[in-house]
């Protein structure tokens, strides 16, 4: 496996996931194709997430642990994983069980029919374990759809599979910064390139273990600021103003 090109690269950004990281990697290996590589992108977690995974999977060539000590951040970790990936397809998912590894076969099964296959809480059959967060997320996604002008129902899920070459062809600098807001920027630029997108209903579960990396109110304001910035910058470019 170390010398062969994998069929799929799974990107797992992580920060303080020591309680669940071994289990999630085991589950990804169980549900992914045999020709897979898992890239654990650890942002130098104080709880030792990276070293723990490296020790647990020392004899598993399909697992690569990259500990990042510079230019850290959730979206930047994902970009670093994409650039380091060797698979024909890239699958991005959370490492805290917010995204269920059992959905991987479904995403891959549909991937031949679209450029991007994305999990969606708001497609028929989708849901979230927390009803209050579901309703707030649903309303906020309506706002995102209006501002970004996407046809996608869930613009913040971040559980998706995509051809690696098509992904690398997108303007990565304009997409991969911040936190989960990177995903609506990815959708926006993908639609501008006329890439096709299929949404698959998923159920987002509660995070298992570790420390939450964001708080609802703080995330709301951060995403709203980014939406405003994004709206202004895209409007300005359409007016033909100098960048």
pLDDT of residue 241: 44
Pick from 159, 176, 151: nearest CA to 118: 159
C-beta neighbour count of 135 within 10 angstroms: 11
Q: How far apart are CA 171 and CA 168, in angstroms?
A: 8
pLDDT of residue 213: 52
Beta pairing, strands 36-42 & 116-120? unpaired
Instruction: List CB contacts of 42: < 8 A, sequence separation 6 or more.
Output: 14, 15, 49, 50, 53, 65, 66, 67, 68
Task: Provide the whole-model pTM.
Answer: 0.90
The region of weakest confidence among 105-109, 133-137, 203-207 is 203-207
Strand arrangement of the beta sheet that strand 63-67 belongs to: 63-67, 36-42, 8-14, 89-92, 160-163, 116-120, 197-201
Beta pairing, strands 63-67 & 127-128? unpaired
Q: Is the pLDDT of residue 210 over 60?
A: no
Pick from 67, 94, 63: nearest CA to 80: 67
pLDDT of residue 222: 87
Q: What are the structural domains of the chain? A: 8-210 (3.90.550.10)
Contact between residue 103 and residue 202 where contact means Cβ atoms under 8 Å apart: yes
C-beta neighbour count of 132 within 10 angstroms: 9
Q: Give pLDDT tens digits for 11-24.
A: 999 999 999 999 99
Q: Give pLDDT tens digits for 41-66.
A: 999 999 999 999 999 999 999 999 99
Q: Is the pLDDT of residue 240 over 70?
A: no
Residue spans of alpha helices (H) in 49-163: 49-56, 74-84, 104-110, 131-148
* Mean per-residue pLDDT of the chain: 91
Tokens of 231: 């709206």
């Amino acid at each position: 496996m170390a010398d062969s090109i994998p069929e799929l690269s799974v990107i797992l950004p992580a920060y303080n996931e020591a309680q669940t990281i071994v289990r999630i990697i085991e589950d990804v290996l169980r549900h992914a194709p045999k020709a897979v590589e898992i890239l654990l992108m650890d942002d130098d977690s104080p709880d030792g997430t990276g070293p723990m995974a490296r020790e647990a999977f020392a004899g598993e060539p399909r697992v690569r642990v990259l500990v990042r000590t510079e230019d850290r951040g959730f979206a930047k970790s994902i970009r670093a994983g994409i650039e380091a990936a060797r698979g024909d397809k890239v699958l991005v998912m959370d490492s805290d069980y917010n995204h269920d590894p059992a959905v991987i076969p479904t995403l891959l099964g549909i991937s031949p029919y679209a450029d991007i296959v994305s999990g969606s809480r708001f497609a028929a059959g989708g849901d979230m374990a927390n009803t209050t967060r579901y309703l707030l997320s649903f309303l906020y996604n309506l706002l995102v759809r209006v501002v970004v002008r996407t046809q996608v129902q869930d613009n913040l899920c971040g559980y998706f599979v995509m051809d690696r070459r098509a992904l690398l062809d997108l303007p990565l600098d304009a997409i991969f910064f911040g936190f989960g807001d990177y995903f609506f920027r990815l959708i926006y630029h993908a639609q501008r390139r006329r890439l096709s997108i299929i949404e698959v209903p998923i159920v987002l579960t509660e995070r298992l273990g570790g420390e939450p990396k964001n708080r609802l109110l703080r995330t709301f304001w951060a995403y709203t600021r980014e939406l405003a910035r994004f709206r202004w910058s895209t409007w300005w470019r359409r007016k033909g103003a100098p960048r």
